[in-house]
């Protein structure tokens, strides 16, 4: 069974059945092409041109020039423009051939999710409309052709760019799918920007490793800022571009990056001094910032062995371990747990990883000084480090196992 496609073109909100030649000019502004496959039971499709297909359905619409066979690409593009102009001049909609539900589905698929989003809440991340040459930007691959790959610049409201085939890799390309794939996100370098025509030439092979890392970090920050601003715009029903012009873009100029300004705003809102925003906007903005950017405490752990064979013994160990609690706070306390004598684990939490590790080292030094003063000793079995939930689970299992081994059972006194 063969599949024969019928192409529908939407001009100024009306849907018309169009020849396949419309694909050649589907990039025209204001034109959306929807492909509707029509199955045919015959083994070979009928030998008729696209012009004849259209003529059979709309004999009074098309001129004789549109019924000629199509052989050259240039002829196809001219044919497409002629057909679309004639369709726009007549009122013969063909939406009933698809059905409204299927048509809306096809249009949303063609728009790749961008058309379904309200344009009021769409905007680029940065103040400049186009990237600069030699900038490294984040793109998403939309289509791969013989000349290269068509991509969308995610930071610039999905404007289209192209990565030439020669700019994909420094090595010989044996399989293009191993280098780049549709739907994949890549970091590429900007070669040329034609602002008048909207052409952006990009290169994947010229983006260095360090530049790619910096690009990913910048993109993640910018994406977080964009998400916060978009939620504020939706809540207030204000155009996103208007909010960016008043808040986000001035913060980029003031602090280098709006993300850093938002992080500072968690502790002090003085960073917003000089920014034009009302009290209602500031309230909703701060709610989103605190919910999304407030850092979670990091768990710090260290294992130590504390022994004392003098007269004080256990009392000396207990007094030395109490020194740890002097370094904790109400929000970020220190804990000391016994694994099995003389092995103890010191646990704490900190917002800043490096600062938390240094504080744990200071606490252990205080314990060491106290136990040595009482005639004991301290050995660090594991230096302070950040732990994960998996490490915490292993520690809990180890403590439970040690507790079972040290538990008393009937008959121990015999």
pLDDT tens per residue, range 290-327: 888 877 788 899 999 999 999 999 999 999 999 999 98
What is the total residue count of the chain?
A: 414
- The first and second tokens of residue 193, run together, are 């920007």
| Signed CA dihedral, 256, 257, 263, 265: sign only | positive
Question: For 69-125, how does the pLDDT look when each residue is reduced to its tens digit (9 = 90+)?
Answer: 333 333 444 444 454 554 444 433 433 333 333 434 344 334 444 433 688 889 999
pLDDT of res. 413: 56
State the DSSP code for 361. H
Residue 58 or residue 16, greater confidence: 16
Q: Are 16 and 8 in contact (CB under 8 A)?
A: yes
pLDDT of res. 45: 37
Percent above pLDDT 90 for the chain: 37
Pick the range with the lowest mean pLDDT from 75-89, 182-196, 329-343: 75-89
Dist. CA 55–CA 78, nearest whole Å: 17
CB-count burial class (<10 Å; 0-12, 13-18, 19+) for 11 = middle
Q: Show Cβ contacts of residue 291 under 8 Å, excluding neighbours closer than 6 positions.
A: none
- Average pLDDT (368-375) is 94
Q: What is the mean pLDDT of the chain?
A: 74
Instruction: For residue 229, give Cα distances in angstroms to 122, 223, 241, 243, 399.
Output: 11, 10, 9, 7, 47
State the DSSP code for 402. H
CA angle 147, 126, 143 (to 5 degrees): 20
Q: Is a pLDDT exceeding 80 seen at residue 258?
A: yes
Q: Start-end ranges of CATH 2.40.50.140 in the chain?
A: 136-207
- Could you tell me the fold of the domain covering 215-293? DNA polymerase; domain 1 (1.10.150)
- Average pLDDT (319-343) is 88
Q: Computed over its alpha carbons, how large is the radius of gyration of the chain?
A: 33
Q: Are 150 and 160 in contact (CB under 8 A)?
A: yes
Helix, strand, coil shares of the chain, percent, nearest 5, are 45, 25, 35
State the DSSP code for 121. G
Q: Start-end ranges of CATH 3.30.70.1130 in the chain?
A: 298-406
Q: Start-end ranges of CATH 1.10.150.190 in the chain?
A: 215-293
Dist. CA 332–CA 414, nearest whole Å: 47
- Could you tell me the fold of the domain covering 298-406? Alpha-Beta Plaits (3.30.70)
CA angle 406, 412, 414 (to 5 degrees): 160
Maximum pairwise Cα distance, the chain: 113
Q: Is a pLDDT exceeding 70 seen at residue 59?
A: no
Dist. CA 402–CA 414, nearest whole Å: 23
| Global pTM value | 0.54
Is the CATH number 3.40.50.300 carried by domain 136-207?
A: no
User: Residue 78 CB: number of other CB atoms within 10 A?
Assistant: 16
């Amino acid at each position: 069974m063969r599949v024969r496609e019928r192409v529908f073109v939407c001009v100024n909100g009306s849907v018309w059945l169009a020849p396949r030649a419309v694909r050649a000019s589907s990039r025209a502004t204001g034109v959306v092409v929807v492909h509707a496959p029509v199955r045919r039971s015959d083994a070979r499709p009928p030998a008729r041109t696209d012009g004849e297909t259209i003529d059979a359905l709309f004999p009074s619409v098309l001129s004789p020039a549109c019924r000629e066979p199509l052989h050259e690409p240039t002829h196809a593009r001219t044919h497409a423009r002629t057909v679309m102009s004639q369709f726009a001049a007549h009122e013969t909609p063909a939406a009933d051939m698809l059905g409204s539900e299927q048509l809306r589905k096809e249009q949303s698929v063609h728009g790749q999710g961008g058309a379904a989003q309200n344009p009021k809440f769409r905007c680029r991340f940065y103040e400049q409309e186009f990237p600069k040459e030699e900038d490294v930007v984040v793109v998403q691959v939309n289509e791969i052709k013989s000349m290269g790959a068509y991509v969308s610049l995610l930071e610039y409201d999905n404007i289209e760019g192209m990565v030439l085939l020669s700019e994909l890799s420094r090595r010989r390309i044996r399989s293009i799918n191993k280098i780049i794939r549709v739907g994949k996100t890549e970091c590429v370098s900007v070669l040329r920007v034609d602002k008048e025509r909207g052409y952006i030439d990009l290169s994947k092979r010229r983006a260095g490793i360090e530049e790619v890392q910096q690009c990913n970090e910048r993109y993640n920050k910018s994406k977080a800022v964009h998400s916060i601003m978009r939620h504020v715009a939706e809540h207030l029903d204000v155009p996103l571009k208007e909010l960016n012009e008043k808040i986000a873009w001035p913060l980029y100029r003031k602090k280098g990056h709006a993300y850093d300004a938002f992080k500072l705003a968690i502790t002090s809102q003085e960073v917003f001094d000089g920014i034009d925003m009302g009290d209602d906007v500031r309230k909703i903005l701060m709610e989103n910032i605190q919910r999304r950017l407030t850092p979670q405490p990091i768990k710090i752990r260290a294992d130590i062995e504390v022994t004392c064979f003098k007269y004080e013994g256990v009392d000396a160990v207990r007094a030395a371990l109490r020194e740890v609690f002097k370094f904790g706070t109400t929000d970020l306390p220190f804990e000391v747990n016994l694994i099995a004598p003389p092995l103890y684990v010191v646990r704490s939490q900190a917002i800043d990883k490096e600062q938390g590790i240094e504080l744990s080292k200071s606490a252990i030094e205080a314990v060491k000084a106290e136990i040595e003063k009482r005639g004991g000793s301290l050995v660090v079995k594991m230096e302070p480090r950040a732990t994960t939930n998996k490490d915490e689970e292993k520690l809990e299992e180890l403590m439970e196992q040690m507790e079972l081994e040290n538990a008393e059972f009937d008959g121990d006194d015999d």
